[in-house]
Copies of this chain bind each other. A is one copy, B any other.
Amino acid sequence: MDNSRDGASSVGIVQTEHTYLCAAPHQLVLANGATLGPVRVAYETYGELSPQRDNAIFVCHALTGDAHVAGRRRADDRKAGWWDELVGPGKGLDTNRYFVICANVLGGCQGTTGPGAIDPQTGRPYGLRFPFLTVGDMVQVHSQLVRHLGIDRLLAVVGGSLGGMQVLDWAARFPRQLRAAVCLASAARLSAQGIAFNCVGRRAIVTDPNFCNGDYYDQPSGPNLGLALARMVAHITYLSENSIEAKFGRRLQNAQQLAYELMHETEFQVESYLHYQGSRFVERFDANSYLYLTRAMDYFDLTGAHGSLERALSQTDARFLITSYTTDWLFTTSQSVELVNALVAARRHVSFVELTSPYGHDSFLLEVDPLAELLAPFLEQTLLAARQSAS
C-alpha cells in the first residue's frame, strides 16, 4: 500500500481484480430465462477480511460507476476512485475496520461481462445479442462473487441510485446474505419521469448513424454523439435547479458580452459544462452498456416482482439505513418514505434521514461527511450485534 500521495486516509494503490463465475454447468439464469456464463467479474477490495469473516461490506455502484471505488491505480493517477472520500482508513466506510468490496455490474463496460464482451459462440462482441438484463441479474452475480470470496454473510450492502436498487433487490432476493442494507437516493421503482429521461437518452444513441444496430465495435467510431447527448440530458437530471443556477447561472464561458451567434454552442458556461461532460463520458463508457443498464433501471420494480413492497422486504432481518436528499428530484424523498413505510409495516429495523443538500441527485456522491456520520455508528452497531449473537 502506497500512501505517498494521499497520506494515511487513502487506501493507496489498488488494482482491479478479475474472476470468472457462473461457468457451465452452473450458468447464470437471467430474469428473461436466458442463460449466461462464464461471467467475468471485475472487482476491487479494500481493507482486510476479519478472521470471523464478518466485516465485509459490498458497495453497489450507480449507472456509470465501476469497481474502482477508492484509491489510485498508479502513484501518478490524477483521479482517485469515485467514492474515495467515503472509503478509506478512518473514513465513513473505514477500511481499518471493514473489508470493502465493489464489483462492476453485469452488463457494464469496466471489466465485467457486458455487451462489449466477446460472445464465445461467435467470437465477436455481443452487441445487442447480449441478453436482456435486470437489476436482479446484476445482484445474482454480486452474490456469487461474495460467496466466491468465502463470505457467507455480508455486514452490509451499500449503494445509491441504481446501486440502491441493487441493495433493495439483494435484501429481497438473498435476505440472509446481508446484516444491513444502506440505500441512498433510490427507490423501489423508477418513476415515469425517470423512464422518460432514460427513453430520450437511449433514443439519442440508437438514432446516431454510427450506432449500426449495436455492432459498432469494429467501426472507426461508435455512436459518440448520441452517447454524449444521452449523458448531457442525464447530467441535468443529476443536478438541482438551485445548484445549476449557483454553479453557472447565466455566466458566459469565454466572453463578457453575448455573441449573437446561433451556432455558438458553448456560449453559456452551463452549455460548455454539459458539452464537456458529454465528450468526457464517451471516452469511458460503452453505448450498448448504457442501453442495457438504463433499461434495467426502467424495469426495476420491487413491488411488481413480489406483490407488495412490504412482502418484498419482509424476508430479511437486515437493518436498513435509508437516505434521501432535499433537492434530489430524480429520486425524491417521497420515494424513500415509501420504502420506510413498507419496512415499518413489515416490522423491520429502519433508520431514515432526509439530508439537506443543494446538489440534487448527485448529493449521495458529494455529501460525504453527513453520510459518513450516519454510516459509522450504524455499521458499528450492526457489527456489534452480529458478534454478540455469534458469541
Q: Given the complex, which residues of B lie within 8 Å of A268, measured CB to CB?
A: 192, 195, 199, 298
A255-297 interface with B by 8 A CB criterion: 258, 260-263, 265, 268, 270-271, 274-275, 291-292, 295
Q: Given the complex, which residues of B lie within 8 Å of A250, measured CB to CB?
A: 189-190, 192, 195, 301, 304
Question: Are B202 and A265 touching (Cβ within 8 A)?
Answer: yes
Stretch of A57-65, A225-233, A381-389 on the interface side: A225-233
Quick check: is A193 within 8 A (CB to CB) of the other chain?
yes
Quick check: is A128 within 8 A (CB to CB) of the other chain?
yes
Q: Given the complex, which residues of B lie within 8 Å of A32, measured CB to CB?
A: 260
Most buried by B among A192, A229, A258, A270: A192
Quick check: is A82 within 8 A (CB to CB) of the other chain?
no
Say whether chain A's binding surface is mostly helix, strand, loop, or mixed.
helix
Q: Given the complex, which residues of B lie within 8 Å of A298, measured CB to CB?
A: 268
Question: Distance in Å from the Cβ of A293 to the closest Cβ of chain B?
Answer: 11
Quick check: is A196 within 8 A (CB to CB) of the other chain?
yes
Question: Distance in Å from the Cβ of A250 to the closest Cβ of chain B?
Answer: 6
Query: Which of B31, B128, B241, B248 is in CB contact (< 8 Å) with A262?
Result: B128
Query: Which of B193, B232, B249, B304 is in CB contact (< 8 Å) with A244?
Result: B193
Quick check: is A372 within 8 A (CB to CB) of the other chain?
no
Question: Distance in Å from the Cβ of A201 to the closest Cβ of chain B?
Answer: 9
Cα distance, A195 to B332, chains bound together (Å): 23
Question: Are A232 and B199 touching (Cβ within 8 A)?
Answer: yes
